[in-house]
A and B are shown apart, each in its own frame.
Chain A
Amino acid sequence: MSPLEQFSVTPLVSLHIAGYDVSFTNQALVMCIIVAAASLFMALAVRKGGLVPTRSQSMAELSYEFIANMIDATAGKAGYRFFPFVFAIFMFVILSNYFGLIPGVFTVTSQIAVNFALAVVVILTVIVTGFLKHGIRFLTLFVPKAKWYLLILLVPIEVVSFFTRPISLSVRLFANMLAGHTMLAVFAGFVVSLGAAGGLLSIIAVAPMFMIVAVMALEFLVAFLQAYVFTMLTCIYLNEALHLHDNH
């Protein structure tokens, strides 16, 4: 079994509409489960709304405060109107990462298409917000303070680096998840093949087993950290659209 086999998208229900393949895949199923789980968790956790929170209510409140503080620290009060957007992105990415760590569950964020779709939504929100708030003046985002003859060179560079954002945002998440899960599968493959080799080699098979435990622990950290980075950068980009040159 190839260590990359876990990333293959397979159709569960074949669907073709107007010549397009819109099959319901294993990936779509996991995404539906994630959205349902996030909605159910948040709805059930705050249902009672007790003054003294229960464990689940406390978890919901902690995630709320985590994102609220993040927005406050990066984009200030003006960023609060984007709270639902940022919170939805955070919950989706972090749940995708953690669901993916359950053995046998497809890792949604290991697909560049999913991450890129998320990143494009973020960048479109930034562009629309920027133009709505500043009008044509939003384009001064691409004009750094410099001599006019340097601007000929600097403006294209700024434009390229702006459009790099959705790519680097999605590639970072994708690369981290892909690398971690491939590593896990490779070590798991070592355990099987060493175990099947017999004799002394079967005893050594314990070593990669411990390695899996260590990598798994690291992956738990990476799953959170990557969700944090993705959300944090979303906030930073939104801040630039909201406040243009204020914080430079």
Chain B
Amino acid sequence: MPEPEDLKRLGARLDEARRHEAVKAQPAAASPLGIAFRFATEMVSALLVGGALGWGIDWLLGTRPVFLIVFFVLGAAAGIRLMIGAAKEINARAASASTAGAAEEDGED
């Protein structure tokens, strides 16, 4: 029967290995093309949705083009907000990837 001390050490090593695996499992930082694609789709779809919502409200109330204009502008605002969100997320991922990489290097010293 193995010593509990051994088991504890094995457990610690397993946890360590799992942590490393979890870090590695994160996909690499997005490519510039991917980022550009992402920003473009966020912006374009926000504008489309804003326009469509405004058009729909106008169609219901018969007030064309008041809400179309209002919601198109709101769509632009939402698009910029989503782009900022996407940029923040990409930054956070890049930062966590670099700190994780640094931690890994430290651990191997």
> A residues within 8 Å of B by Cβ?
66, 69, 73, 153, 156-161, 163-164, 167-168, 171-172, 175-176, 225, 228
Contact = CB atoms under 8 A, between A and B. Distances in A.
Nearest to B34: A225
Contact of A163 (B37, B49, B81): B49
Interface residues of B, number: 23
Contact of B41 (A66, A160, A168): A168
Contact of B45 (A159, A168, A176): A168
B25 A175 contact: no
Contacts of B34: 225
A160 B75 CA distance: 6
A153 B41 CA distance: 23
A236 to B, nearest CB: 9
B78 A164 contact: yes
A228 to B, nearest CB: 6
Given A161-B81, A168-B42, 11 more contacts: A157-B81, A160-B50, A161-B82, A164-B42, A167-B45, A167-B48, A171-B44, A172-B38, A176-B37, A225-B27, A228-B27
Given A156-B74, A164-B79, A164-B82, A69 B25 contact: yes
Query: Which of A161, A225, A228 lies at the interface centre, i.e. has the most chain B CB atoms within 10 A of its CB?
Result: A161
Contacts of A158: 78
Interface of B: 22, 25, 27, 34, 37-38, 41-42, 44-46, 48-50, 53, 71, 74-75, 77-79, 81-82
Contacts of B38: 172
20 contacts: A153-B77, A156-B71, A157-B81, A158-B78, A160-B75, A161-B46, A163-B49, A163-B53, A164-B45, A164-B49, A164-B78, A164-B82, A167-B45, A167-B49, A168-B41, A168-B46, A171-B41, A171-B45, A175-B41, A176-B37
Contacts, number: 56
Chain B interface mostly? helix
A101 B78 CA distance: 35
B29 to A, nearest CB: 12
A222 to B, nearest CB: 8
Query: Which of A153, A158, A167, A225 lies at the interface centre, i.e. has the most chain B CB atoms within 10 A of its CB?
Result: A167
Given A157-B78, A168-B45, A175 B37 contact: yes
A232 B57 CA distance: 32
A160 B78 contact: yes
A175 B78 CA distance: 21
B25 to A, nearest CB: 7
B37 A164 contact: no
Contact of B74 (A69, A157, A168, A172): A157
